Structure 1
Amino acid sequence: MEAQRNIWLFAKTNILPTIGILALAAVLAVGVAYGGLLVALAYIAIPCAIFGVSLIVAKPKYGLLTVVVFGFLANGLTRYVPAPLGLSIDLLLVLTLLGVLFSQRSFDTKQLNNSLTILTVLWFVYTLFEIVNPEARSLQAWFYAVRGVSLYMLFIIPLTFLLMRSEKDLDMLLMLWLGLSLLGTLWGIRQFAFGPDSAEQAWLNAGGAVTHILFGKLRVFSFYSDAGQFGASQAHASVVAGILAMGERRLSRRLIFIFIALLSFYGMLISGTRGAFFVIVGGGACYLIAIRNMRLIILGLVIGGLAFGFLKYTTIGQSNYQINRLRTALDPNDASLLVRIENQRKLADFLATRPFGGGIGSGGSWGQRFSPNSFLAQTALDSWYVKIWAESGIVGLVLHVCSLLFIMGIGFLNIYNLQPPDLKYKMIAIFSGLGGIILASYGNQLLGQMPTGVLVYMTMVYLYLPKQFLDDRQNKLYS
């Protein structure tokens, strides 16, 4: 009775708030009754979103880390949640930038005075001028396509220089990256062992099966956009984790890195993505170049030669689908390779009089959506470099490739005389991972896709920072 009396007194003295709470509860109840689960989830998501936005604006570093997380998860979530999560990366980057602009902290903008930032701005300006390319068919196509081609790069590289330029930040990124990759592997193994769930099967039925069910076998895609991106991302993680394991002194951490490297390699295999094999090849080659140890170089060449010989000149394990699929990557008469070569021949004829290409977004899925009857929309652009060539011309391709090679050169020079083994192996790991992605992008559109794109752009920044890491260590030693 006493409790009831207290409740009545509270309601009597707070009549307006009480009515407001009851009215809100009624509205929420009606919304759930008519809208079902989606409305209920929206009620939960809205306050979470408000909290997240507030946190990112107040501490913009968390915005950049959230970009990494969404880079891994956003595409997969769209299979379960009918929402335009593809634009979540854009929103997060804008919020992070606003957090930097309106933060009460002062950021060292001198960090932006370097060749990487200059190349980033130069590349974006070039793609910006593609708007006025007389061959361009659609401004909307440019808007959607330029994000992966240059806009994300323009956001991520300066923001990383400003917000995550310490060695501790690099360690945080590596742990987040490898943790999400491990999660992706386990999700992929679940798909491989038990088959797709209902949402994944619906995605396959809607058209995904055309490229993901080959000869009755599933090409595992995990929660990534497709099997190609899953395989390349797994190979990328395998290279980085494997090299980190070599430089790790603590046994427990070394075993963890070895476990992630091996499991990620397995993830690459079950993806059925042949091009991902070249991430391993390119990453291994970059590692041997960077380590500058003759015995390791010889050992690496021998292992590489044996692997090449096993795939190229034997039929051992041919009954295994993953090995069989990987072996076709080295077959010069492979049907899909011949189709790609023929497409490139047609593109060469088309682009011979178009040095600036057909316009950003004129090919691929955006071309099919906004200018479906154009030549580029009807020609497959399977390679990242073929895409850049087709849409920005030979001028754009030369600028883009030379920029990538220049960045790799700077990374090598910055690693060359590094002494602390732990720091050196971190730098070699991200250098080799970047080299593997750059090589494998000849076969697949990797650089502009998530999560590979955001990881590549962030690791480019760290290749410019070894000297600062050493200075920070020295300052801590004498502080």
Structure 2
Amino acid sequence: MDNFKINISPPERKNTSNWLYTFLRKTFITDKLANPAGITFLIIFSLLFALIIYRQGAETGILLAVVITGVPAIYGLVAYPKVGTVIVMIAAYFIMWIAAMGVDFPLGTIMDGLEALLILGFFISQKNKPNWSVFKNPIAYIILIWISYNIIQIANPTARSILPWIYTIRSVAAVMLMYFVFTNSINTVSFIRFILKLWIALSVFAALYALKQEYIGFFPFEERGLSDPRVKSLLFINGHWRKASIFSDPVAFSYNMVATSLLCISMLFGPVSKHKKIVLGILTILFMVAMLTSGTRGAYVLVPAALVLLLILNFNATILKFSIVAGVLFAALVFTPTSSPSIRRFQSAFRPSDDASFNVRKITQKRIQPFIQSHPIGAGLGVLSNTGKRMVPNNILRGFAPDSGYVRVAGELGWVGLLLFCTLFFVSLKTGISNYYKMKDPELKNYCLAMILIVFAFLVGSYPQEAIVQFPSSVYFCLFLALITVTFKLDSEKQHHTKNSK
């Protein structure tokens, strides 16, 4: 009887807040609105949305839709870097196409905002879960030095105005910081596979769109842009239009086709099934054919140059046979007479002495050499961009068209900046090649090889053109560098895990 107790406390009341939380979680998250309450909510929301559009007009409805979708999107970019990585990859591909449609909105600001949100999310994650390893590698060191050098260009005494610097630094600094965002967010092999598949899918769309322009024609909004006499003088060559697909110009399009072609070629020698190799081979042909429609001679030499590096890095019987076949096909394409304007322009890329534009570039480079030698830090960041020329029409390099990534860097940032720019490529390739020979996992090793070839192609391609200035090349270049670092990191972790499990 001593242990006998009578509970006379009042009955426990049901916690209303807990019940509401459970109900909302079940309705919106667990069942994803696939229940009576969710369907009722959607019906009421649709009716209210329709009523708002009816009463206030379509613009109010669009604004409301942007707010409703924008808030979760912003949260996703900051809190979930993988989501942000995918969004930026897609946006970088389509931003110039949407701009060409005549959208009256500074779309470049949207890209700046996306990059800023991802960078903000990166720093927040660094505060909560510090991961200093992303800063402790040779590529990270040279990128930080490159960004710092561009920042101190604000004090360049040769610059007539800081306006070009203000306009350009956001794209230079923010874009290069994306290397750290990508290195931090890409942390699994499955995510690497996903983003590479996404990239290939985007490239397929771009290639098919270019072939549509070639064989069917342009959309009206594209014809309006091509009606500009200045644009026509650049893109209408020997009675044939150079195609830019969904990109800003044929150079950006062709260099992206080269990069994706090299990815597919590299994966042909990776641990993939036979039917996937057939698909990769077909895609390579598609990208190469689409590249020809761009009429960009600087891009035509990049694939053969990268294949030489592939032969050196991964010399074996299979690659030797592939290189011989590819060499024969290229030789046939270069020397076989043809009536196709695209192929004739391709052939001229391998006869630079007969190329008037190549000779003009040589003269231009000779003309700027005295300035570069006498101005070690250049004329100022951004002065050679079209916007910079408009902002400062009386700048010291007015009227000068660089037509080369290296010449532009040397003109704006001097021979010191050119040295840093070349060092960035050198360190990236050296690190990639060193990592490649240390790696054991065949899949990760193959991805690393692909990135090495692509970075090498951009290294060569920066001589005749500005290879990494426009979207999406500027963003994707940082992705390539990040994958060189990430593949090695994941391979090292896998080796360490295998070693400990024995």
Partner of 1:32: 57
Can you list the C-alpha shifts for 1:17-51, whole angstroms capped at 9, x where unaligned? x9xx98x9776446537x6xxx6644443422223
Amino acid in structure 2 at the alignment position of 1:324:
R
Say whether residues 1:291 and 2:314 are aligned partners: yes
- Cα deviation for residue 91 of structure 1 reads 0.5
Alignment of 1:20-419 (within 5 A): 28-29=53-54, 32=57, 41-80=62-101, 81-102=103-124, 106-153=129-176, 155-206=177-228, 207-293=230-316, 296-297=319-320, 300=323, 303-304=326-327, 307-308=330-331, 311=334, 314=335, 316-331=336-351, 332-419=353-440
- Cα deviation for residue 257 of structure 1 reads 1.7
8 Å Cα contact 2:186-2:486 kept in structure 1: no
Q: Are the structure 2 counterparts of residues 249 and 59 from structure 1 closer, same or farther at C-alpha, using a change threshold of 3 Å?
A: closer
| Cα distance in 1 between the residues matched to 2:289 and 2:67 | 38
8 Å Cα contact 2:139-2:427 kept in structure 1: no
| Cα distance in 1 between the residues matched to 2:225 and 2:473 | 22
Moved more, 323-332 or 420-429: 420-429
- Cα deviation for residue 294 of structure 1 reads 6.9
Partner of 2:25: none
User: 1:144 aligns to what SS in structure 2?
Assistant: helix
Runs of 5+ in structure 1 lacking a partner? 1-17
Q: Are the structure 2 counterparts of residues 226 and 54 from structure 1 closer, same or farther at C-alpha, using a change threshold of 3 Å?
A: same
Can you list the C-alpha shifts for 1:271-317, whole angstroms capped at 9, x where unaligned? 11111113213321221122033774586368447735752xx3x23
- Cα deviation for residue 403 of structure 1 reads 2.2
Can you list the C-alpha shifts for 1:181-223, whole angstroms capped at 9, x where unaligned? 1111111111111111011111212453332222221111111
TM-score by length of 2: 0.83
Amino acid in structure 2 at the alignment position of 1:317:
P
Amino acid in structure 2 at the alignment position of 1:465:
V
Runs of 5+ in structure 2 lacking a partner? 1-43
Q: Are the structure 2 counterparts of residues 310 and 439 from structure 1 closer, same or farther at C-alpha, using a change threshold of 3 Å?
A: same
Can you list the C-alpha shifts for 1:320-345, whole angstroms capped at 9, x where unaligned? 11111112222313111121111111
Can you list the C-alpha shifts for 1:325-378, whole angstroms capped at 9, x where unaligned? 112222313111121111111111222311111111111312321112334231
Partner of 1:11: none
| Cα distance in 1 between the residues matched to 2:468 and 2:421 | 11
Percent identity over the alignment is 24
Say whether residues 1:465 and 2:472 are aligned partners: no
8 Å Cα contact 1:124-1:150 kept in structure 2: yes
Amino acid in structure 1 at the alignment position of 2:210:
G
User: 2:221 aligns to what SS in structure 1?
Assistant: helix
Q: Are the structure 2 counterparts of residues 178 and 298 from structure 1 closer, same or farther at C-alpha, using a change threshold of 3 Å?
A: closer
What is the number of residues matched between the two proteins? 451
What is the CA RMSD across the aligned residues, in angstroms? 2.6
| Cα distance in 1 between the residues matched to 2:279 and 2:321 | 27
8 Å Cα contact 2:115-2:174 kept in structure 1: no
Q: Are the structure 2 counterparts of residues 277 and 476 from structure 1 closer, same or farther at C-alpha, using a change threshold of 3 Å?
A: same
Q: Are the structure 2 counterparts of residues 425 and 101 from structure 1 closer, same or farther at C-alpha, using a change threshold of 3 Å?
A: closer
